[in-house]
Amino acid sequence: MEITRLLPLFIQGTASTTFFTSRPFLTVFGFALFARLGLSISGADAVARFAPAGIELASYGGLAATPWLLGDTVLMILGLLALFELGAASSDDLRFWYNQSLWLVQPGSAFVVTYTFADTEVTLFLEFLASLLPVTPVTVAALGSDVGTAGFSPAAPLDAALVWLGHILTVVWAGLLAAIAWVLGRVRTAVAEIIEEIDEDNTLGLQTLMHWTETGWTAIGTLIMFVLPSLALIMAGITIATLFFIRRYFEHRERRIYIACANCATPTHPSAPFCPACHLAREEVRQVGLFGQARDTPVVEPTTHRLQLMARKRCPSCASRLHAKAVQQSCESCGTTTFGDISGANSFIRMLDAKLTRTTLITFVLGLIPLAGLVPAMVYYRLSLISSLRSYLPRSIGCLTRWGVRVLNIFLIMLQSIPGIGMLAMPLMCLTNYGIYRQVFTSSAQGTLGSAAVAQAVDCPGCGAPGQGARRFCTQCGRQLQTM
């Protein structure tokens, strides 16, 4: 037995960590499927060979001894899990719950697959090393009768001590790869959160693009791991470098954009009316853009600016991202409540209503362009109106509403191909979609806030600013109104 027998094992194991990071179930299914293919071509031979166009299929000697992962029932279960994973990752409604479970699935699947494929191979390699050792009382007592045995054969019975040592080394190796998969998974999650912040409701399709990129990369990479393990290792390196580059780029961009508070030096968003730490009112506050970025235009009307911040799913006080799917929620940075009472929600709706006419006219003009104007029109009215409402709806309500709107949109898209009537398809889509989400948001706000929340809207005892609601700090002077 040569040490080169272990080389594909370590290369494939190292390369697999990046694929377990993005699509763990698909990677496990690919491992089992391609290993099953290799064994079916070469029978029960421990080293499977596959040579289309002169290419060798690298495999493990342990495959023949681990049939449970390659059985029909297991392959069927893994295939169903892979399909479920693809469906969950591509669904706007299930993607959140899928991402929440990845922290456990990523290292777990990496450990199971690595241990299953590597256990027998490592033990056989130890047996081979034992056959090369000199025969002494110490080596025989420690490793058994296989020490110094000439003509070593992998088919020979393995000594119990070597078997247990092989198990221990395999657990260590599988645990190491599982830890690497977990660390890379945290980096991948950070990148996914960045994309979600840019396109929370998948209006631009960035989350869909990431889904299909990860899926295609995993499927191709898993196959290449068995055909050309060295190329798979290069792909893994490219994946790791890309993830770290994207994360570092946005971290650097955020540090460059944020401005230090004049009082406490806390990094603060340029569109924030107040510092998130000391709550000092800021000067030269800049308007917020369509994607939550700060624009160069200074804020003229503070009340309207706070509503625009909430429309971009940002705190009305410190401009930090709001992550919860709820009408009323507290900012994680400064503790400010989004809607202290029903009047605040009504003001938010009136601000969006004022944008409806202009948005409808723009979608009408874009809808005059056959087919080519469909996507820009839908993206525009969703970014301008729908995403501001949908981001505050609870997941259960938002899921049902989204599917109902999709059915209506399919019907309206079909109307676009009809001469004359087709020019009204996009403005009708804009009006009906906004009307539905407006009604759902209003109902959710009334159920969450209700008349009891109105009593919480009291004036600030420091500066007398009206309607401070359930906020912890006054939005005018920064005075603390509530204690934790």
Residue 92 CB-density burial (10 A; 0-12 exposed, 13-18 middle, 19+ buried): middle
pTM (2 d.p.): 0.65
**How far, in Å, CA of 9 to CA of 15, rounded?**
10
pLDDT per position as a tens digit, 203-214: 777 788 888 888
Residue 258, pLDDT above cutoff 70? yes
Name the residue with higher pLDDT: 424 or 116: 424
Name the average pLDDT for the chain.
Answer: 76
Q: What is the structure's pLDDT at 358? A: 93
Better pLDDT: 450 or 16: 16
Burial status of residue 326 (CB atoms within 10 A of its CB: 0-12, 13-18, 19 or more): middle
Beta pairing partners, 286: 298
Overall average pLDDT of the 437-443 stretch? 92
- pLDDT tens track for 277-326: 888 888 889 998 877 788 888 998 888 899 999 998 899 999 888 888 88
pLDDT score at 128 = 58
Residues 320, 313: Cα–Cα separation, whole Å = 9
Burial per residue of 224-257, b for 16 or more beta-carbon CB atoms within 10 angstroms, e otherwise: bbbebbeebbebbeebbeebeebbeebeeeeeee
Contact 40, 229 (CB under 8 A): no
Q: Which residue has the higher pLDDT, 23 or 98?
A: 23
